[in-house]
Chain A
Amino acid sequence: MALNQSVLSVNELTVSFRQYTRGLRQIELTVITGLSAEIQPGKILAVIGSSGSGKSLLAHAILGILPSNARVTGTMAYDGEELTAERQVKLRGREIAFIPQSVNYLDPLMKVGAQVRASIKDNKKEVQRDIFARYHLDSQVENLYPFQLSGGMARRVLVSGAMVSDARLIIADEPTPGLHPEIVEEALTHLRQLADEGRAVMLITHDVGAVLNVADYIAVFYAGTTVETAPVKDFAGKGEALRHPYSKALWKALPQNDFIPVSGFQPSPGDLPLGCLFSPRCPMASRECFESRPLERELRGGKVRCYHAT
């Protein structure tokens, strides 16, 4: 994972929101804490984490579409150059494409063809028809409203909108829970194709099982940080090859494995532990774990954020 190859590299990204509670008391909600990740061309990095762990905000942070009360620290680099707010504005919709997965991302009162055409610069009609044909959408589909689409059609319309420009980095947000398994399958296979054509893909999801066949690397997201980044082959057996206690526990919690739930719950963003974010729930936690946060280090071809991982 040489740095100069990465399309995107995120280094120690922290995102927090300032909120006012009763009176003028301010609290700082830290939703992403010292997160690092990188993606190479032709690879899929799956970011997995439980629902509500703030992983969608990671996508928003990369695209620069966080709400205005968000504070971002840390650095991001696109193509080896710093990804500043101005570059984000320039790149999003062109080189960085965002694929959401829910029909709610389409304007309910606008025909879907027009919505796709809105992100095209020239030859709008032509490009839109080409791309609809490429994704097996009938020519009448462009005149439909979102509520008239089936789940699969809606997803293909969303993909079409993202692919009108020849994006080099694709950020796909998690397939909505409850979406038909075949549609999820279709979506994932398609992302694999896009990666095989040389694009870098970041896939954000809560479903480890679903991404095992398509991802190259899996980053385990916990309480706003990536505790471990591992090649997909390490997610096998009883999880012996995994590095972080949370990844192991998560792996064992899957129904197809031991189905043992991880005890306890994630810390809330307003009340993060002083030390390692996983320390309150960790069976291996020692004094240093409670006192300071471990830095990310390389270990056996992956990365881990743990003092005790071997």
Chain B
Amino acid sequence: MQLKQLILFILGKMVKMFILLAALCLLSFWMVSNSPVDPVQAYVGADMMLVGPEQLERISAYWGVDKPPIEQFGRWASALLQGDLGTSMIFRRPVASIIKERFFASLILMGLAWTLSGLVGFALGIVAGMKQNTWVDKAIKSYCLILASTPTFWLGLILLIIFAVWLNWFPLGLAVPAGVLTENVRLIDRIHHLILPALTLSVLGVANIALHTRQKLVEVLSSEYVLLARARGASETEILWRHGIRNIALPAITLQFASLSELFGGSVLAETVFSYPGLGRATVQAGLRSDVPLLLGCVIFSAVFVFSGNLIADTVYRVVDPRIRHKDGAV
């Protein structure tokens, strides 16, 4: 019975996702086709003077950008339904393979930042909540509020200036050392390149989760069941382990999954600042140079990614929270 409900719930969400994706594709396509950037011009770039009008026409005919937008969309959508995302204009490679490669790079970056911000944020939130209204709490709160109002790209630049330019501890950008063959790149090099961007991304995620956890813990600690626990002789540490963590973990996990959208948005900026070859940077490049297939591919992929995050958040609640799990289980 419970499993059936869960499957129905997920199926319902899937239907919603497909509707969302269809609308998203249509909207993005419409926006790109109205963009003032001409894909042919953007592709040719500075060589514009060297390329004749016939050649330009042949390029547009080759890409199909001379056809009316509706026809372009129809061709793209029917190819998409067959699993073909098309070919990127700027990379001259199938969009699917670019996304796969770039997503892997982004996944490491985002995964690291996500885990780090989740753990640090949760811990800071607990400390602030337990020490409510003391200087520790105030320090953590101020730190989070300052972080929450810091733009990602600015923080990235500051970190770059301090740690890469002044201290020379970390490289200025990219994911691997320049001029080294792929097979010669060591793991340590990759990690070395990952630290600054991951730090930039995670530092910003901390604020959200820490403030939320603090607030939730303060609520729990002023609840009647904690009052009763105190009246029955439980110590503050016992209360934190027994009632605190239990009641704040679920909202925190949910929030962390739901924050994937912000994380993705942040990674676009962080990857651009650090020239990190991830999906976010590919999206920016595609947008600036009117690479419609790649841009749409990135849009679809990021939508699926963010949607999955929210879906996991909702599902975790259903599976873990007894009040939803046993909805019909009153005895």
Contacts and interface: CB of A to CB of B under 8 A. Distances in A.
Given A107-B243, A145-B323, A98 B224 contact: no
B232 interface: yes
A89 interface: yes
Q: How large is the interface on B (under 10, 10 to 19, 20 to 34, 35 or more residues)?
A: 20 to 34
B233 interface: yes
Contacts of A119: 232-234
B228 A100 contact: yes
Contacts of B81: none
Given A104-B224, A109-B321, A144-B331, A94 B233 contact: yes
Contacts of B322: 109, 145, 147
B229 interface: yes
A105 B225 contact: yes
A105 B238 CA distance: 16
Contact of B224 (A94, A102, A110): A102
A304 interface: no
A107 B250 CA distance: 14
A96 to B, nearest CB: 8
Interface in A173-222: none
A105 B223 CA distance: 8
A148 B232 CA distance: 23
Contacts of A145: 322-323, 326
A281 interface: no
A172 B246 CA distance: 27
Contacts of B223: 104
A72 interface: no
Nearest to A102: B224
Contact of A105 (B224, B242, B331): B224
A140 interface: yes
Nearest to A107: B225
A113 interface: no
A102 B227 CA distance: 12
B326 A109 contact: no
A37 interface: no
Contacts of A141: 331
Contacts of B246: 107, 109-110
B247 interface: yes
Given A105-B227, A106-B225, A145-B323, A98 B329 contact: no
A104 B330 contact: no
Nearest to B222: A67
Contacts of A224: none
B232 A98 contact: yes
Nearest to B330: A148
B242 A118 contact: yes
Interface in A37-91: 60, 63, 65, 89
Nearest to A111: B322
B331 A118 contact: no
A63 B231 contact: yes
A65 B228 CA distance: 9
B230 interface: yes
Contacts of B243: 107, 110
Given A104-B225, A140-B331, A110 B242 contact: yes
A245 interface: no
A252 interface: no
B45 to A, nearest CB: 59
A108 interface: yes
B321 A148 contact: no
Contacts of A147: 322-323, 330
Interface of A: 60, 63, 65, 89, 92-94, 97-98, 100, 102, 104-110, 118-119, 140-141, 144-145, 147-148, 158, 161-162
Given A65-B227, A92-B231, A92-B233, 14 more contacts: A60-B231, A65-B230, A97-B232, A98-B228, A106-B225, A107-B225, A107-B242, A108-B247, A109-B246, A109-B323, A118-B238, A147-B330, A148-B330, A161-B232
8 contacts: A60-B231, A63-B230, A93-B234, A102-B224, A109-B321, A110-B242, A148-B326, A148-B331
